[in-house]
Amino acid sequence: MPRSPIHHHIFSIAHRKNGYDIPLHTRLGTEFLVLLIALMTYLLLLSASGSIGLGHMANKWVSGLENAMTIEIPAKQTSPQEASGLVRKLEKIKNVNSARVLTSSDMQDMLSPWLGNDSSVLADLPLPTLISLELVERTPETTQAIQNLVNATAPDAIVDSHEAWLVDLLKLTNGLRLTALIVFGLILFVTSFVIAGAVRSRMAMHQRELELLHTMGATDKYISLQFIRYIFSQTLKGLAFGILAGFITFIGFALFTNQSSGTLPELEMGQTDWIILLSIPFLLLVIGTFTARQTVYSVLNEMP
């Protein structure tokens, strides 16, 4: 039934005075909906930032090791002069950009996260001689030439190309990123489900008001806007609390990693990463609005 001008005037006055023709804010459960949306926002930010962080860690590790090799010579099987001679020979191989023997200070930096900064501990340990290689390009011919030279100079030495370690690392990080994306999708689904349930419960509580609005000539579109504004306002409140909690978590993690001894990765976010994180609240608003609209129309169609 189309609305008359009088009915339209009544609805306009009620909207300007109270904001809603249906008393949606007078029922219990509004705070619970805000809390759920805040929790979902917080979890979405954590899962997205975790996936982004894992991607940065994998790229950093891969870029640092894909063109690097390490030669480990057992302790007391070569002198510093022999190691330096091996380095000079390695530098003559094609695609070898640089080669150097790791010093005691390099060893100290590598082992400090586990052994601390006490240099006297290293003096008592039978440390092997490590030679670090940086390649221009990793090719089978270069790898084989390095292996042949090391075998001829130090048969017991171990040439580590890090390939197996890199493959396992990429499998682990990609698996964790996939898990984070699955969790992200599940949270979005649950959020949509929660909002739909909230709208249905509100419509069941205010069924008499809805019937009265229909009798007075209110269209489905007019009624749906009431619930869309309600869900939109509650979603904004939940987003504010969720973003605040996520921001506090990011700051705490950044401070904690900066004070750690290097065992934890640093939190590094680029411009694209921030755009992705900032798009999450907008995505939740879109999902909340769309879900509320579809749910209202579905329930209204079911009403006599």
- Count CB neighbours of 173 within 10 A: 20
Q: Where are the domains of the chain?
A: 5-62+167-302, 67-161
Burial degree of 34 (CB within 10 A; 0-12, 13-18, 19+):
buried
* Fold designation for 67-161: Alpha-Beta Plaits (3.30.70)
Instruction: Report the pLDDT value the prediction gives residue 228, as an integer from 0 to 100.
Output: 86
pTM above 0.85, yes or no: no
Round to whole Å and give the CA distance between 214 and 158: 82
Evaluate whether 73 touches 154 at the Cβ level (below 8 Å): yes
Q: What is the 3-state secondary structure (H, E, C) of 198-264?
A: HHHHHHHHCHHHHHHHHHHCCCHHHHHHHHHHHHHHHHHHHHHHHHHHHHHHHHHHHHHHHHCCCCC
Per the document, the length of the chain is 304
Radius of gyration of the chain (CA): 32
- Residue 89 CB neighbours (<10 A): 15
Residue 214 pLDDT:
73
Q: What is the pLDDT, as a whole number, of residue 171?
A: 84
Token pair recorded at residue 299: 């329930």
Give the strand order in the sheet containing 96-101. 96-101, 129-135, 68-73, 158-160
pLDDT in tens, the chain (304 residues): 344 443 443 444 344 444 556 666 655 567 888 899 999 999 999 988 888 888 877 777 776 667 788 888 887 766 777 788 888 888 888 888 888 888 777 777 776 666 666 666 566 667 788 888 888 877 888 888 888 888 888 888 888 877 777 778 788 888 888 898 899 999 999 999 989 988 888 888 877 877 787 777 778 788 888 888 888 888 999 999 999 998 898 888 777 766 655 545 556 677 888 888 889 999 999 999 999 899 888 888 877 6
Residue 17 pLDDT: 41
Which pLDDT value is given to residue 290?
Answer: 92
Cross-strand pairs, 96: 135
What is the three-class DSSP state of 118?
coil
